Structure 1
Amino acid sequence: MGTTTRRLEIMDTTLRDGEQTSGVSFSASEKLTIAKLLLEELKVDRIEIASARVSEGEFEAVRDVTDWASEHDYLNKVEVLTFIDKGVSIDWMVKAGAKVQNLLSKGSLNHLMHQLKKTSEEHFNDISENIILATQHGIETNIYLEDWSNGMRNSKAYVFEFLDFLSTQPIKRVMLPDTLGVLTPKESFEFLAEIKTKYPNLHFDFHAHNDYDLGVANVMEAVRAGANGLHLTINGMGERAGNAPMASTIAALNDFMPHIKIGVNEKVLYTVSKLVENFSGVMIPANKPIIGANVFTQTAGIHADGDNKKNLYFSDLLPERFGRTRKYALGKASGKANIQKNLQELGLQLDDDDLKKVTQRIIELGDKKQVVTKEDLPYIISDVLDYTYEEKVKVNSYVLTHAKGLKPSTTVSITINDETFEENSQGDGQFDAFMNAIRSVFRKKKMILPDLIDYAVRIPPGSRSDALCETIITWKSPEKKFTTRGLDSDQTVSAIKATEKMLNIIIN
């Protein structure tokens, strides 16, 4: 409480509580890789990596992490969830090489009575015996008060009886979980403040879940009330709606609680988040704060314009803090400022008239729900500016059919100098059928089409299956050889657009 500068411990539990995300199971090598990144690169204070007794595979994974941690002086930062089980968990830890246990106990009278069916005295005696045994094996003890949040709501006398007992025990930390994610920010502050006032010499960790999407808010209030440590997970992984997310919490603490000192390296939050995304198979939502794909992307042209004028739309959440860059989306909401920002990154310049044409083309593509990227820009510029002929030929509409066992066919409606024709034809492919239909129309006009001598298709580097596609066709007539381009997300349509340009060239 207050504004005196103080150090806050950050414990990451991605590898234990985060692994309880439905469908997630990290391999031993993945656990080791993540553990190294968390401690060496992200620089969290501690990591919780497993639950004791779970499986042989879990044992081997813990053994790998403790072997590495022992060699690099991190062993006291590696923690394992244990149980009150007459020493079975302690024996498991000894064999796995772990030195810090996070002992699970009952933090509400409801859990104590209905799950353990024991008195508080019996429960405390069991805990005391476990701590003694752990100490004999050189194992340090932290203790979880499971369902503590409901304990404070419904059985506060029991919680304080428990804390009175724990204040007499040789433990390092008391860990207060909102197990079901039910607390409000107001309760988080009031409960922690009351406890810190009564037990100022105990170290308290706060462990938030996100069932009401209040994880970060609850964490902030717990810290304001005096919490000494926080439990977070990468990407907010965890049971049900997950845990309080690492990236958002760290950013909020740094920006809104400057008197709180943490050692986490913001610069690698995104890198670690993407690795955990890959290993877990749980995709990061595009709008996830700090680490989502879209969170540093300006879409509206007015925002890009504002960024050019004293950074009117910047906040303290600068992407560079997290090893990221600001982007300017291209689509139907784009203005000239958005496009200019992307052109600057590509080292391209356009005059006002050309920029207006390119802007209009991008808006047209955006209206079709097509994704336009910075890498598409050179293709769009080429498509728009490499063509200056008057439009005397217009392909009004067409139907392309392709069915197994049948020849592809096309029906085309085309206008030439205000005269409209409709033609149907077959071919070896959809584009060939289209060309045959066009040839039939031009024969009626007693005109010969140039020969197609080269046909090339390309998409921007790094694009996906929904990328814009540029078709470049080279034509040869008795007089000359020339090239036209077409741009669309559909390859055949882009070829038809390139052909329409060719038709206008020969008519003009």
Structure 2
Amino acid sequence: MSEETVKVLDTTLRDGEQTPGVALSPEEKLEIARKLDELGVDMIEAGSAITSAGEREGIRKIANEGLNAEISSFSRGVKKDIDSALDCDVEAVHLVIPTSELHIKKKLQKSPEKVKEMAVETSVYALDHGLTVELSAEDATRADPDFLKEVFQAGIEEGVQRVCVCDTVGMMMPEQIHELFSNLVKDIDVPVAGHCHDDFGVAVANTISAVRAGAREFHATINGLGERAGNAALEEVALALSEFYDYETNVDLESLQEVSQLVEQYTGIPISPTKAIIGANAFAHEAGIHTHGVLAESTTYEPISPEVVGQKRRLIFGKHTGKHAIKDELERKGLEPSEEQVEEVFQRVKDLGDRGKLVTDAEWSAIVDDVMGRSLEELVELQELTVTSGDNVTPTASVKVRFKDREFTEAGTGVGPVDAAINAVRKVVEGISNISLQEYHVDAISGGTDAMVDVVVKLTDGKRIIDSRGSSEDIIKASVQAMLNGVNRLLWDKKLGEEEED
């Protein structure tokens, strides 16, 4: 059976940006749009032009970038929204009209007939101005099915090119979605899209059901961002359609991880380690039986190769790790450990795990270096750290480090002294390497006024992602130590790799 192509409308820059706490600058929106275009999405909903001048600037930048994807703006059923979209040079509008009785009566306070007229008038207005129109029914899963068809047919008669069913607050289960779309597509002569929200945790399943029932377009966001519980996650839908059904998208699956990380960086919304496909633990293995199995045959505990979605397999070392995994990892690094050395590494890892400690990448490497007689050279050395903070004073930090016989000094401000110190260290690190901070969290705090604080950071040099820890009675010192421990680990591993190549 030949595969059918399903189009993808990415709404990360509109619905995704409506995630509480997320606000993207025009430049950030443009960079994400470029990556989405490279990813292969067919349409990019760049924002809602009526929102603000900054929003219009961002949409206009994207629309004039010459991307392959169709660029659209969200629009309500009012002409001023369409005028704002036209001012941004977009090719299309995602024209959203409430269709449920609840929305029509309580929100719009109009009659159903007036709402249908509004849909037709604004559709005609947009079409007359040369825009492609995707007519979307808001809260469609709680609408009367006959009225839903009436609104769509009225728009189609005027020339709208696509229609979309929105499960605005996730009010249907997959079998209900399948029935709704099956009935709709029989009477609709233009492509039908599905736009699903994750309020009940089934947005991805609902989107797949919509496609199986005849939808030939779906809306989604990178990382499943969106209001409340979020939208359908693009990466999950695209992979599922590719792996399990006779549908294909134009999405380059190998680029999913890269785009996901960029969106995480700019939105500030961290990806759960257990997030399907693009989470840090999606292809990570710690338990002895799992690591043994995956090393013998990857498909024992991996449904797909991690490289398919731009990921890499990670062996996590902790209390559940077996000796086989440790021996294999040491040999993979080009080492030739004795049985005694494998046993020593094994016992040290177990000891950390039994004390409730995450064995970070930096600590794992430090254990290996010590047992194997390799000394980690402190390539970046902290010389000085000064932090000022107080009432009516902007928290400020200055950091001086030594790297390759040179001193580097940077200052940073923040919402608090820890934030200021991290920002100062981040500037220093980025000045001497391409290493960047991806994640920061306090891992553990002991009791008492002299509590020991554990800070764990996630760092990347563009090729690898590692975890690193810093411990101190002072959370600022622990934070700086965690950063520099990770930086030294990445730089040292890179140096060892270069020496081995020589």
Question: Structure 1-normalised TM-score?
Answer: 0.72
- The SS at the match of 1:68 is coil
Closer/same/farther in 2, CA of residues 35 and 311 from structure 1, 3 Å limit = closer
Q: Report what 1:206 is aligned to.
A: 194
Q: Report what 1:455 is aligned to.
A: none
The answer to whether residue 84 in structure 2 is matched with residue 81 in structure 1 is no
CA distance in 2, matches of 1:329, 1:371: 9
Closer/same/farther in 2, CA of residues 465 and 260 from structure 1, 3 Å limit = closer
Pick the aligned partner of 1:277 from 242, 245, 264: 264
Q: Report what 1:15 is aligned to.
A: 13
CA distance in 2, matches of 1:20, 1:123: 25
- The SS at the match of 2:94 is strand
The answer to whether residue 170 in structure 2 is matched with residue 181 in structure 1 is yes
Closer/same/farther in 2, CA of residues 274 and 461 from structure 1, 3 Å limit = closer
Given residue 195 of structure 1, which amino acid in structure 2 is its aligned partner?
L
- The SS at the match of 2:95 is strand
CA distance in 2, matches of 1:468, 1:320: 34
Closer/same/farther in 2, CA of residues 51 and 358 from structure 1, 3 Å limit = same
- The SS at the match of 1:331 is coil
Q: Report what 2:469 is aligned to.
A: 466
Q: Report what 2:180 is aligned to.
A: 191
Aligned residues of 2:317 and 2:364 also touching (Cα < 8 A): no
Q: Report what 2:215 is aligned to.
A: 227
Q: After TM superposition, give the deviation of residue 216 of structure 1 in Å.
A: 1.0
CA distance in 1, matches of 2:255, 2:137: 32
- The SS at the match of 2:107 is helix
Aligned residues of 1:460 and 1:467 also touching (Cα < 8 A): no
Q: 1:185-334 to 2 correspondence within 5 Å?
A: 185-199=174-188, 201-257=189-245, 259-311=246-298, 313-334=300-321
Aligned residues of 2:360 and 2:467 also touching (Cα < 8 A): no
Q: After TM superposition, give the deviation of residue 228 of structure 1 in Å.
A: 0.9
Aligned residues of 2:173 and 2:206 also touching (Cα < 8 A): yes
Closer/same/farther in 2, CA of residues 32 and 198 from structure 1, 3 Å limit = same
Q: After TM superposition, give the deviation of residue 94 of structure 1 in Å.
A: 2.1
Q: After TM superposition, give the deviation of residue 461 of structure 1 in Å.
A: 9.6
- The SS at the match of 2:298 is coil
Larger Rg: 1
Q: Report what 2:432 is aligned to.
A: none
Aligned residues of 2:318 and 2:353 also touching (Cα < 8 A): yes
Q: Report what 2:25 is aligned to.
A: 27
Q: Report what 2:52 is aligned to.
A: 55
Q: How many residues align?
A: 388
Aligned residues of 1:376 and 1:460 also touching (Cα < 8 A): no
Q: After TM superposition, give the deviation of residue 239 of structure 1 in Å.
A: 0.2
Q: After TM superposition, give the deviation of residue 195 of structure 1 in Å.
A: 0.9
Q: Report what 2:111 is aligned to.
A: 119
Given residue 313 of structure 1, which amino acid in structure 2 is its aligned partner?
T
Aligned residues of 1:372 and 1:468 also touching (Cα < 8 A): no
Q: After TM superposition, give the deviation of residue 323 of structure 1 in Å.
A: 1.7
The two structures, once aligned, show a CA RMSD in angstroms of 2.6
- The SS at the match of 1:466 is strand
- Runs of at least 5 residues in structure 2 that lack an aligned partner in the other structure: 374-456, 461-465, 473-481, 483-502
Closer/same/farther in 2, CA of residues 376 and 346 from structure 1, 3 Å limit = farther
CA distance in 2, matches of 1:61, 1:371: 41
CA distance in 2, matches of 1:381, 1:46: 49
Q: Report what 1:413 is aligned to.
A: none
CA distance in 2, matches of 1:28, 1:465: 33
- The SS at the match of 1:10 is strand
CA distance in 1, matches of 2:234, 2:222: 5
Aligned residues of 2:33 and 2:62 also touching (Cα < 8 A): yes
The answer to whether residue 350 in structure 2 is matched with residue 354 in structure 1 is no
Q: After TM superposition, give the deviation of residue 378 of structure 1 in Å.
A: 5.0
Q: Deviations over 1:235-274 (max 9, x none)?
A: 10000000001111111111111x1021000111111111
Q: After TM superposition, give the deviation of residue 73 of structure 1 in Å.
A: 5.3
Q: Report what 2:145 is aligned to.
A: 156
Pick the aligned partner of 2:85 from 86, 93, 98: 93
Q: After TM superposition, give the deviation of residue 357 of structure 1 in Å.
A: 2.5
Closer/same/farther in 2, CA of residues 369 and 117 from structure 1, 3 Å limit = same
Identical residues among aligned pairs (%): 33
Aligned residues of 1:173 and 1:204 also touching (Cα < 8 A): yes
